[in-house]
Structure 1
Amino acid sequence: MAPSDIKQSNINMPQHIKDKTNLRHLVDISIRLTTEKDSSKLLNEILQVLMSVANADAGSIYSITDNKQLKFETVINKTLGLHLRGDEDSPIDFPNIDLFINGKENETAIVAHAVNSGKYINIPDVYAALPFDMSAARNMDSLTGYRTKSMLTIPLKDHVDDIIGVIQLINVKGENDEIIPFSEELVTLTRSFASLGAISLTNSTLIKGMEELFTTFAETIAMAIDEKSPHTGGHCKRVPALTLMLADAVHDSNKGPLASFTMSEADRHELDVAGWLHDCGKIATPDHIMEKSTKLETIFDRIKYIDAKFEVIKRDLNISYQQEIISALKQNKPIEVKQLERLLDTELKQLSLDRALLKRINVGGEFLGGNELNEIQRIANKYTLEINGKTMPLLNDDEVENLSIRRGTLTQGERDIMKRHMDVTKNILDALPFPKHLSNVKEYALGHHEKLDGTGYPRGLTKDQMSIPARLMAITDIFEALSAVDRPYKKAKPVSECLNILGVMVNNNHLDADIFAVFIESEVYKKYIIEFANPEQLDEVDLNNLPGYSPIV
């Protein structure tokens, strides 16, 4: 039932019929008000409903701003043909009304009276002698030529009895369209409908507030991770952005296996929240692992400790050879002196070479070859030093293990600890009571380390067990990590290398080939690099030889 269909009951109608009619209206309005999600539309709906119930010619609805002012949200005047909703199509340029002036209650506006007193105000004729200052209403009449007479002002209260707005109805009409006062019966009926509107508005506000709270909570976790690890915090911010870019591209694709995939704004919001929360478990990952920029780094980079041990070995070599040289000089053996000096020089040069090798290996990289592994073991076996009468190796077992890392800077044990962030993420998401419209957040967020062949983690899902958004996030998470310019342990890769790595993963049945094709053809990666990385990374990409890519048909 539209608001215009609701008319004031005939005064001669039997009471039981009037009550039945009003009950029907109440039910109809309840359904309409509780199904409207947009708060601005809801305010407009509430006002139209109340005007229809009261058969009022005009009305306004106000919200209360944070700085204690009343803001016009909707203004309707049937006689003047006026209907302003406060949007782009019908803006309201009326000034806000102060609730307080110079620290005292505003006595020049009836709506301010209603808010400050918390009571409804029923005025039969605003031009009669009243205990209120009605000059504002009269001035408006003089400007518009309208005659304001009867007025009903009702404060809207929420579930904790706080006033959240005001409704003002003007000029209730009788059977012959004459302007009559608001009867007590009509006031009671209008207030009951206004209460229903207030409940709907409160629910809308609470839902919006909870939505904002949850979104802010997700972003705050990323901020906390940012404080703990700037590069990981940056990752948590960039992945949602790239994820939505790719999701929109898949949504817009009208060909291929993904042509039927669509996302509403609610779906996008759900995926965005998942993006913000996808690595929330890293808040529990130890700093010395998350920030490990070199192979020997713990609380500090132990290459400095090894460097100091090299200095001790160098000193001991010099002392040992100098003692032998002095002994040879005393025995007048110049040839032996020359031999010793050459041997010392050779050992010092080799020591310097070995020292430089370990420094280079410590930086980490894509791959450590077998020759370098052998060199690490040779150095570990060759050098010892004596401190406080105790002989110790240059490299202990843990240092050998870390220096022998073939890719990156993490040992297998440290990688296992890093992987635990997904278990922590799962525990956090399991503990959150997601509402129905966010019920997929956990599945999306936990999917970014899964692989289509079931070898991923934390749950070992296969392609058929993963949704398109979850498979999509797996691609964006990896591309962001490969192209990131703020990693302490590696340089940002050019785009061609990033896409080549993704393509190899597609060929290995780790990533979704159809989504990868959209990622390539939509050129989402270019837009992302320009906005979030370094445009210099955008090198030439040979699509004809890109692994894992087949044009969408």
Structure 2
Amino acid sequence: MVPLNILKSSKHMRQHIKDKTNLQHFIDISIRLTTEKNSSKLLDEILQVVMSIANSDAGSIYSITSNKQLKFETVINKSLNLYLGGTLGGPVDFPNIELFIDGKPNDTAIVAHSVNTGEVINIPDVYDALPFDMSAARKMDARTGYRSESMLTIPLKDHEDDIIGVIQLINVKDAQNKNIPFSEELVTLIRSFASLGAISLTNSTLVKDMEVLFSTFAEAIAMAIDEKSPHTGGHCKRVPALTLMLADAVHKIDKGPLADFIMSPEDRHELSLAGWLHDCGKIATPDHIMEKSTKLETIFDRIEFIDAKFEIISRDLELSYQQQIISAIKQNKSVEVLQFERLLETELKQLALDRALLQRVNIGGEFLGEEEQAHILRISKQYSLKINGEETPLLTDDEVENLMIRRGTLTQGEREIMKRHMDITKNILDILPFPKHLSNVAEYALGHHEKLDGTGYPRGLTKEQMSVPARLMAITDIFEALSAVDRPYKKAKPVSECLNILGNMVSNNHLDPDIFAIFIESEVYKNYINEYANPEQLDEVDFDNLPGYTPIS
């Protein structure tokens, strides 16, 4: 006969082992629920966990749609070998369940009633579950030969006590595999795990919501810039698209120096955000500089003001010669009359030529040579007019400075103001508390004006100090700007010219040659032009003589 104290000790030992097993089971389940990020898979996990704890034969989990319906996410029935939804099951073709009918809570469907009231509903036998409508369950049972009996319905609540879903378990089994009711002790245990699952689902949803919020915020900044400057706003939208196209090509390449470059979906999302935010500092750039489509443009194009002054000079010139002609006529000096008329005609022609020159160089579409600059200086010194009795030069010092711009429409001072957008972008990105998985956004975004030889801005980084995505963005930013069809100050360049400019920058150690080669050989430039620019820009390119391009080997 076994002594009583030994029996008690053995019983305590078995209970200790059982408690320890349950604790480990709880820990394992907690880890499963709190580490899963995919919401569909998480709902599937929650259902399988509570079914395992309850030892139930069947179960369903529902989410709540935006139009107040319950949607089947996962349906499991072990006896029928049924697994629908989740991440591995077949499609769920059951109709959604209305939470409200004719504006009133749906009290006939158990899951709808549980969501609307927040109550846990424990039914020993569903066939006796009045006033709920169990006709669908009866029809299913009749069709499959299954017998639904005990049922437990538990709403899932988030941290604000809002219901985000509902679980329904059917037929809890005892040790002999017979259907038994859900005990209060079991209900309490299941609710605790369901609550843990709801917290995990809420956390997953909150993380996704924050991701969506931040992504939308980045796009909203581009939208705000678009309101300031339509052409720059288009740039802010197109650069992320082109950046991801090139990044995908680099990711796929299986040869050359960048064959090991791998980009996960999370990395891709991070790079996309960097693309959206890369020019966010332009929101503070003055409109008259950002939108400066001609050299003399400020609030208005001052070429019109200069044209008006030319008109005055022309009329003053005509009046002056007319007075001299009239005087010569009175004195019967016919030779002088002819001379004055020829001089007037000559000076008016020169005036028209000078006026045409200023109108042409004001556009800023071509490089301004030294000869044209000399003409501008001559014009500025040659012509003047009287306004209110005061001698006024045709061109002010500021107008001369702007007209003398060699390339483009911006003066050096205005270019410095434009460059400040990178300092502002850096300041904005520096104060944003990026989470760990977005910690590279600033580095990528700030890399698009850097050069491999360290002469870029805002930080003067060299190739070794820049990541592949940052070096990649430098190419996409420039190609988009060169090929853009919506710039007010220049025409869209053909692809051959765009690639030659990029190639020269590669040759000068400004852009990455390996990424440039992938850009060409993967035909990223061609796909981008077809989708975001004008296909007519796709002219012939002489790749054999393209500067900076070496085929990938």
Alignment of 1:40-439 (within 5 A): 40-85=40-85, 90-128=90-128, 130-439=130-439
**TM-score computed with the length of structure 2 as normaliser:** 0.96
Is the Cα–Cα contact under 8 Å of residues 385 and 391 in structure 1 kept in the other structure?
yes
- Gaps in structure 2 of 5+ consecutive residues: 1-10
The change in CA–CA distance for 1:12 and 1:153 in structure 2 (over 3 A counts) is farther
Distance in 1, matches of 2:362 and 2:333, equals 44
Match of 2:5 in 1: none
SS at match of 2:374: helix
SS at match of 1:161: coil
SS at match of 1:492: coil
Distance in 2, matches of 1:117 and 1:135, equals 22
SS at match of 1:149: coil
Q: CA deviation at 1:12?
A: 12
Q: CA deviation at 1:485?
A: 0.9
For the pair 1:545 / 2:545, whether they are aligned, the reply is: yes
Is the Cα–Cα contact under 8 Å of residues 367 and 406 in structure 1 kept in the other structure?
yes
What is the Cα-based RMSD across aligned positions, in Å? 1.6
Is the Cα–Cα contact under 8 Å of residues 271 and 441 in structure 1 kept in the other structure?
yes
Q: CA deviation at 1:543?
A: 1.3
Q: CA deviation at 1:227?
A: 1.4
Match of 2:503 in 1: 503
Alignment of 1:438-457 (within 5 A): 438-457=438-457
Range with greater deviation from structure 2 (542-551 or 413-422): 542-551
Distance in 1, matches of 2:377 and 2:244, equals 48
SS at match of 2:160: coil
Is the Cα–Cα contact under 8 Å of residues 123 and 129 in structure 2 kept in the other structure?
no
- Gaps in structure 1 of 5+ consecutive residues: 1-10
Q: CA deviation at 1:161?
A: 0.6
The change in CA–CA distance for 1:203 and 1:157 in structure 2 (over 3 A counts) is same
Q: CA deviation at 1:87?
A: 6.1
Distance in 2, matches of 1:418 and 1:193, equals 57
SS at match of 2:74: strand
Distance in 2, matches of 1:130 and 1:536, equals 72
Q: CA deviation at 1:13?
A: 10
Is the Cα–Cα contact under 8 Å of residues 109 and 136 in structure 1 kept in the other structure?
no
Q: CA deviation at 1:145?
A: 2.4
Q: CA deviation at 1:539?
A: 1.2
Distance in 2, matches of 1:280 and 1:103, equals 46
Q: CA deviation at 1:250?
A: 1.0
Distance in 2, matches of 1:76 and 1:180, equals 19
Distance in 2, matches of 1:71 and 1:450, equals 50
The CA deviation string for residues 197-219 of structure 1, in whole angstroms up to 9 with x for no partner, is 00111011111111111111111
Kindly provide the amino acid, as one letter, of the partner of residue 458 in structure 1: P
The CA deviation string for residues 451-496 of structure 1, in whole angstroms up to 9 with x for no partner, is 0111000000011100011001101111111111111111111111
Kindly provide the amino acid, as one letter, of the partner of residue 201 in structure 1: L
Distance in 2, matches of 1:377 and 1:168, equals 86
Distance in 1, matches of 2:184 and 2:249, equals 59
The change in CA–CA distance for 1:131 and 1:549 in structure 2 (over 3 A counts) is same
Kindly provide the amino acid, as one letter, of the partner of residue 151 in structure 1: M
Distance in 1, matches of 2:75 and 2:539, equals 57
Q: CA deviation at 1:138?
A: 2.3
Distance in 2, matches of 1:88 and 1:306, equals 74
Kindly provide the amino acid, as one letter, of the partner of residue 35 in structure 1: T
SS at match of 2:398: helix
Match of 1:521 in 2: 521
Match of 1:3 in 2: none
Range with greater deviation from structure 2 (130-139 or 491-500): 130-139
Distance in 2, matches of 1:87 and 1:486, equals 45
Q: CA deviation at 1:59?
A: 0.3
Match of 2:8 in 1: none
The CA deviation string for residues 508-540 of structure 1, in whole angstroms up to 9 with x for no partner, is 111111111111111111111111111111111
The change in CA–CA distance for 1:419 and 1:205 in structure 2 (over 3 A counts) is same
Is the Cα–Cα contact under 8 Å of residues 328 and 337 in structure 1 kept in the other structure?
yes
Percent identity of the aligned residues? 80
Distance in 2, matches of 1:212 and 1:522, equals 31
SS at match of 1:92: coil
Distance in 2, matches of 1:293 and 1:370, equals 22
Kindly provide the amino acid, as one letter, of the partner of residue 438 in structure 1: L
Kindly provide the amino acid, as one letter, of the partner of residue 213 in structure 1: L
Match of 1:6 in 2: none
SS at match of 1:53: helix
SS at match of 1:448: helix
Is the Cα–Cα contact under 8 Å of residues 237 and 276 in structure 1 kept in the other structure?
yes
Kindly provide the amino acid, as one letter, of the partner of residue 490 in structure 2: K
SS at match of 1:127: helix
Distance in 1, matches of 2:206 and 2:54, equals 28
The CA deviation string for residues 47-101 of structure 1, in whole angstroms up to 9 with x for no partner, is 0111000000000000001111101000001111110115696111111111110
Is the Cα–Cα contact under 8 Å of residues 86 and 92 in structure 1 kept in the other structure?
no
Is the Cα–Cα contact under 8 Å of residues 44 and 87 in structure 2 kept in the other structure?
no
Distance in 1, matches of 2:526 and 2:133, equals 64
The change in CA–CA distance for 1:233 and 1:129 in structure 2 (over 3 A counts) is closer
Is the Cα–Cα contact under 8 Å of residues 41 and 86 in structure 2 kept in the other structure?
no
Q: CA deviation at 1:128?
A: 2.2
Distance in 1, matches of 2:127 and 2:256, equals 71
Kindly provide the amino acid, as one letter, of the partner of residue 315 in structure 2: R
Q: CA deviation at 1:149?
A: 0.5
Q: CA deviation at 1:176?
A: 0.2
The CA deviation string for residues 252-307 of structure 1, in whole angstroms up to 9 with x for no partner, is 11111111111111111111111111011111111111111110011110000000
Is the Cα–Cα contact under 8 Å of residues 108 and 131 in structure 2 kept in the other structure?
no
Distance in 1, matches of 2:350 and 2:215, equals 59
Distance in 2, matches of 1:96 and 1:27, equals 34
The change in CA–CA distance for 1:13 and 1:96 in structure 2 (over 3 A counts) is farther
Kindly provide the amino acid, as one letter, of the partner of residue 74 in structure 2: T
Is the Cα–Cα contact under 8 Å of residues 503 and 548 in structure 2 kept in the other structure?
yes
Detail structure 1 runs of 4+ shifted over 6 Å in the superposition: 11-14
Report the count of equivalent residues.
543
Match of 2:512 in 1: 512
Range with greater deviation from structure 2 (517-526 or 420-429): 517-526
Distance in 2, matches of 1:340 and 1:228, equals 53
Is the Cα–Cα contact under 8 Å of residues 72 and 86 in structure 1 kept in the other structure?
no
SS at match of 2:448: coil
